[in-house]
Chains A and B, each alone.
Chain A
Amino acid sequence: GAGVSQSPSNKVTEKGKDVELRCDPISGHTALYWYRQSLGQGLEFLIYFQGNSAPDKSGLPSDRFSAERTGGSVSTLTIQRTQQEDSAVYLCASSFQANYGYTFGSGTRLTVV
């Protein structure tokens, strides 16, 4: 497709379970980003992939969070042993270059009950 695709759009999970969130970026965009947005708040940076370079993981809030990007395209964000404070909208974005702007997906709304 022409845009950034995220799945699932909504996920409800029980506390302690693992979840995987998927992001399919725009073809040709070498940079991919994950952000977290709590209700009504701004964007919290999680992780950034650029080409074949080692990812910038500096925003991951704990070692329960990890992400992969396979073949320079699709990315998966994994949250292990989910906690209620993990409930948020997880947004993925891709870009050709930062000053060209990011294109965001519609996000995955994660609810941990």
Chain B
Amino acid sequence: TQLLEQSPQFLSIQEGENLTVYCNSSSVFSSLQWYRQEPGEGPVLLVTVVTGGEVKKLKRLTFQFGDARKDSSLHITAAQPGDTGLYLCAGEYGANNLFFGTGTRLTVIP
């Protein structure tokens, strides 16, 4: 079973603070993706990381794929209320299939 655990499960912070969300597994994935989901909508892809140790930046968001391709982190700098949402990591395994993590629900308080 490709279990992807995310931590923390819930996170509530003040606007302007920094935060890191973690995605961990005992399985190796060929790629890992991060999605953000807002209420009433489907998840939206933020980034895909493929190479072990890879770091990608998307404005105030920094994504890192672990060297062994088993884990990943998402760091947000100077969080804003618009960052509020459910953050999901998803690992690619097999042919054209993703396994989704348990999710981190982030609330940024103005």
Binding site for B on A (CB under 8 A): 4, 31, 33, 35, 40-43, 45, 48, 50, 56, 91, 93, 95, 97-107
Bound: A55/B75 CA distance, A: 36
Measured CB to CB, the nearest residue on chain B to A103 is B45
Let me know if B96 and A106 touch, CB within 8 A.
Answer: no
Which are the 4 A-B pairs with shortest beta-carbon distances?
A104-B42, A101-B45, A43-B100, A99-B31
Binding site for A on B (CB under 8 A): 6, 30-31, 33, 40-45, 48, 50, 86, 88, 90, 92, 95-103, 105
Q: Which residues of A contact B30 (CB under 8 A)?
A: 99
Bound: A68/B76 CA distance, A: 40
Let me know if B100 and A100 touch, CB within 8 A.
Answer: no
Bound: A56/B99 CA distance, A: 13
Let me know if B48 and A104 touch, CB within 8 A.
Answer: no
| Option from A33, A50, A100, A104 in Cβ contact (under 8 Å) with B44 | A104
> Among B41, B42, B90, B102, which residue has the most Cβ atoms of chain A within 10 A?
B42
Bound: A50/B95 CA distance, A: 9
Given A40-B105, A41-B103; 12 other pairs, CB 8 A cutoff? A43-B100, A45-B99, A56-B97, A91-B42, A91-B43, A93-B42, A98-B96, A102-B90, A102-B98, A103-B45, A104-B42, A106-B41
Bound: A41/B31 CA distance, A: 23
Measured CB to CB, the nearest residue on chain A to B104 is A42
Instruction: State the Cβ distance, B99 to closest chain A Cβ, in Å.
Output: 7
| Option from A31, A41, A99, A104 in Cβ contact (under 8 Å) with B43 | A104
Bound: A102/B45 CA distance, A: 7
| Option from B44, B88, B96, B105 in Cβ contact (under 8 Å) with A43 | B88
| Option from A35, A42, A50 in Cβ contact (under 8 Å) with B96 | A50
Q: Which residues of A contact B86 (CB under 8 A)?
A: 40
Bound: A54/B102 CA distance, A: 28
Instruction: State the Cβ distance, B85 to closest chain A Cβ, in Å.
Output: 12
